[in-house]
Amino acid sequence: MKHFHTLFLFISLLASSALNAQCENVTLENLTNPGPYEIATLTEADGIRNGPDYAGATIYYPTNGTEPFASIAMVPGFTALPSSIEEWGPFYASHGIVTIIIGTNSLVDFPEVRANALLDALETIKQENTRSTSPLEGALNTTQLAVSGWSMGGGGAQRAAVLDNTISAVVALCPYLNNSALNHNAALLIFSGEEDTIAPPSEQADVHYSNTPNTTDKLLFEVANGDHSVANTPNGGDGVVGQIALSWLKLQLEEKECYCPLLTNNLLLNPPAASNVLQNFECEALGINLTEQAIGYYPNPTKNTVTFNNTEKVLFELFSPLGQSLLKNELTPENNQIDLSAFPTGIYYLRIKNKTMKLMKVD
């Protein structure tokens, strides 16, 4: 069968092939705990900075990952110790994200103080990139920084993003924050628990989501039957908490677009672990520019077949969200349907008459 002979399509397919190569390992099966990399730790005994706005820190880092690494700073909640969230450290690090988990100068510090502690922790990360005896010297991307925390620490993480607009992403774990000033542009992921009586979602997480600008990429995932500590480890929600958090940071912090369709088409598509999902972010077709439709078609979304209003023979090619070519054929006025029944539910991209359109298959 003949291929489309246009420069635009040729460039699109080259881009798709390159992105497809990058995305080979971007699957649900590879969002494991632990990840593929070996890890090690650094403490103040190893020479890391003793930040004045926090009490003690542990840095978890990959020893055989691909540099430069993105980083995230994490702080626990009211009256809690770093051990309450420490499982996140080796999890993130084993997937290539350097993680610093800190304690607080007082166990009863409020969110604003915890925000300053997180910013101080990020300063420690930055200094590791230049400390001559650090194994992380020159190994960090200091423009890819995120913050996270549990409970009041989660509230502090959101406030840290307000105070420092260089922060790229926030992961708030069942956050508690009565300050509604959340005007920031850091991509925000909020986990909440349906049965959380300490920070009820309707009073906390849901309000935080609403008070974050709609111009900011944001996602709220409420874990069904979850309590206040449901997101304290990557294993929350039968492991989906870790999968979503990692995918969010890979997308928003490391800017790996391959993880966007993994979120929207897999992890967030009718998730059994969720009692509520709110999202305000979009995926772009990888390596493919969406344009106006070339030919009328219906229905979309569809459960099986899509019918086209073509009056002549045309060639088409169907792509996955990761740019993989799935199906090539032709449409004629007599044979004007594409059957998607063999493919799983999700979003697909159709190339036809030098234009690319989005199709959605549903149950």
What residues are annotated to the active site? Answer: 151, 196, 228
Residue 202 burial (10 A CB sphere; 0-12, 13-18, 19+): exposed
**What are the Cα distances from residue 15, in Å, to 9, 19, 136?**
10, 6, 33
Q: Are the CB atoms for 279 and 220 separated by under 8 Å? A: yes
Residue with tokens 């995305």: 23
**What are the Cα distances from residue 307, in Å, to 2, 279, 310, 333?**
22, 30, 9, 10
Q: Are the CB atoms for 182 and 167 separated by under 8 Å? A: no
Torsion on CA atoms 124, 161, 113, 141, rounded to nearest 10: -10
Neighbours of 348 (CB within 10 A): 22
Q: How far apart are CA 169 and CA 74, in angstroms?
A: 12
The two structure tokens encoding residue 107? 């166990």
Please choose, from the candidates 223, 159, 145, the residue with its C-alpha nearest in 3D space to the C-alpha of residue 191: 223
